[in-house]
Structure 1
Amino acid sequence: MCICEAVQPIDNGVFLLILQHPQEKRENLGTAQIAHLQFANSMVKVGLSWPGLKRILGREVDPKRWGVLYLGPVKEGGAPRAEVAVVDKNGQPLRDSAEILEELEGVIVLDGTWSQAKTLWWRNAWLLKCRRIVLNPQFRSLYGQARKEPRRDSVSTLEAGAFLLSRLEGDQAILDTALKPFSLLLKKLRQPRPRPAAQPPRDDAGGAADGEDGGEGGGED
């Protein structure tokens, strides 16, 4: 289903890396490829495990300047949760979250179902060297009833990546623009499909109703 007319590549400053579970690649409503089309500085890698971030990107990197969306529990404090925060290994928000977020070179999103994403997390121990990022988006996923999500506040890979980049770069337009192809895809999927054209009636012998030979003007001259 073509959504080309809605694709508007965004020149994002923070790199977006999507690690996709192989089974998610076959999902018709997956959003990893849409995210890759929408963000000029992005990459999608399909697999279960990789030696490290350096091998994926093909260059030297400092994992402390990379964030990964964290799948573990987050400890709730007395203060309202921020839209984007960095947490420690226990899910406790760090006091210097804002400073860490400002220094990020890239972010990593794990693409797949909840269980598939957890598989990617546990099979790639090098992710533990990256900054753990948690999101608190104040919107519901565009998926709606189209695809079941594990939690009410769950969003698609595209929505998570676009929301995070929009906050890191301080530009709401990044989120709005990035979601246009996804919105169009869901709109087309929800449109009723046209019914097939009715077939012309046929006689008992299987020929056309006019003339024995089925040809046009089957009468005598």
Structure 2
Amino acid sequence: MEEEMLATGAAGPREEEEEGHTAPTSVSAPMEDSEGCEGLWELPVELSERRPECSRCGRPQKVCLCPFLPVHPLKVSTCLYIIQHPAEESRVLRTVPLLAACLPEDKCKVLIGRRFSEDRYPELATVCKNSNTLILYPGAGATNLEEININSSDPCVIIIIDGTWSQAKDIFFKNSLFRIPKQVELKTSLSSQYVIRTQPTNTCLSTLECAAVALAIMEKNESIKETVLRPLQALCSFQLQHGAQVHHSKEHLLKNGLYDKPMPKNKRKLRRMELLVNNVKI
């Protein structure tokens, strides 16, 4: 799961003017200057136009990824619930829209937010209480997804948190609903192909990659993984052709002395970096 996933901060509202202070007022220009500029006010203003986007993949039409998507949505019985941190929604290079474009609408549901209570999300609460619902989040209490036996008479639901690791952790531990389903994790040798975004470790995957692997396991169909990964591979290829750089994981940078950012002063974050360097699972 990616630095997206297990990959978001929003800017706060602008502060009001302090009490007792007033905003500066405009100053009138001298008459001789205003007369010389009078004609400028009548010039038409050209508004910048937003690049037209593809209605299916959400990408600008010049770099549309639809040729790399399946012609028809994949037929799967497993349903995905993507719990997306609000900041992910504003990112330009997201993987969830590509994932959603590969699946039927009723098989990939995206809920955006930080807090999910039973009162506000009764449908989600019902899903979480279903015995065939799993939540994909690594940890000491997680079971390898390949070892899970699901009652085949009912479709399986997999919940995936979309955000940075810290955001995913916050959502998982501060929402009691997400600790009801059985916790699972992926044991895969797949290296992330989402090379245009920095991952925390060499084994982290993006949300789309996690979903692709999970669906292939649950549907017992390896071709699903290949189909879902294809648009991600194309996205990264397009970006690299237009100047993007390959991003190595933070773990790789630290181990090879290539990490050029200031080391954190926070002891907990510094400790996490030390664990990465020493191959300790975090």
Structure 2 residues not aligned, in runs of 5+:
1-59, 244-282
User: Which consecutive residues of structure 1, in runs of 5 or more, have no partner in the other structure?
Assistant: 76-80, 86-96, 194-221
Q: How many corresponding residue pairs?
A: 175
Task: Map 1:1-221 onto structure 2 (within 5 A).
Answer: 1=60, 2-8=64-70, 9-40=73-104, 41-52=107-118, 55=121, 57=123, 60-61=126-127, 62-73=129-140, 84-85=145-146, 97-100=147-150, 105-144=156-195, 146-192=196-242
* Partner SS state of residue 161, structure 2: strand
Cα separation, 2, equivalents of 1:190 and 1:32: 20
1:78 corresponding residue in structure 2:
none
State the partner residue of 2:20: none
Q: How has the CA–CA distance of structure 1 residues 104 and 173 changed in structure 2, closer, same or farther, with 3 Å as cutoff?
A: same
Q: CA deviation at 1:101?
A: 7.6
Note the C-alpha offset of 1:73.
3.6
| 2:204 partner letter | S
Change (3 A) 1:116 1:125: same
Q: How far apart are residue 10 of structure 1 and its match?
A: 1.1
- Report how far residue 35 of structure 1 moved: 1.1
- 8 A Cα contact 1:33 1:44, kept in partner: no
Distance 1:153 1:104, change over 3 A: farther
SS, match of residue 131 in structure 2 = helix
Kept in 2, the 8 Å contact 1:140–1:153? The answer is yes
Q: In 2, distance between residues paired with 1:72 and 1:123?
A: 16
Percentage identity across aligned positions?
26
Q: For the residues of structure 1 that align with 2:151 and 2:119, how far apart are their CA atoms?
A: 18
Structure showing the higher helix proportion among its residues: 2
Letter in 1 for 2:99: A
Shift in Å, 1:183: 1.0
Distance across 1 between alignment mates of 2:182 and 2:151: 9
Partners of 2:197 and 2:187 in 1: CA distance: 20
| 2:267 counterpart residue number | none
Distance in structure 2 (CA, Å) of the matches to 1:54 and 1:100? 28
1:6 partner letter: F
TM-score (norm 2): 0.56
Question: 2: CA distance between counterparts of 1:54 and 1:63?
Answer: 18
| Per-residue Cα deviation, 1:53-83 (whole angstroms, up to 9, x for no partner) | 99364794443210001232469xxxxx95x
Which protein is richer in strand relative to its size?
A: 1
Considering only aligned residues, what root-mean-square deviation do their CA atoms show, in Å? 2.6
**Cα distance change on mapping 1:136 and 1:66 into 2, 3 Å:** same
Residues in 2 aligned to 1:31 and 1:154: alpha-carbon distance in whole angstroms:
14
**Kept after mapping to 1: 8 A contact 2:79/2:155:** no
Return the letter of the residue paired with 2:205. Answer: V
Highest CA radius of gyration, 1 or 2? 1
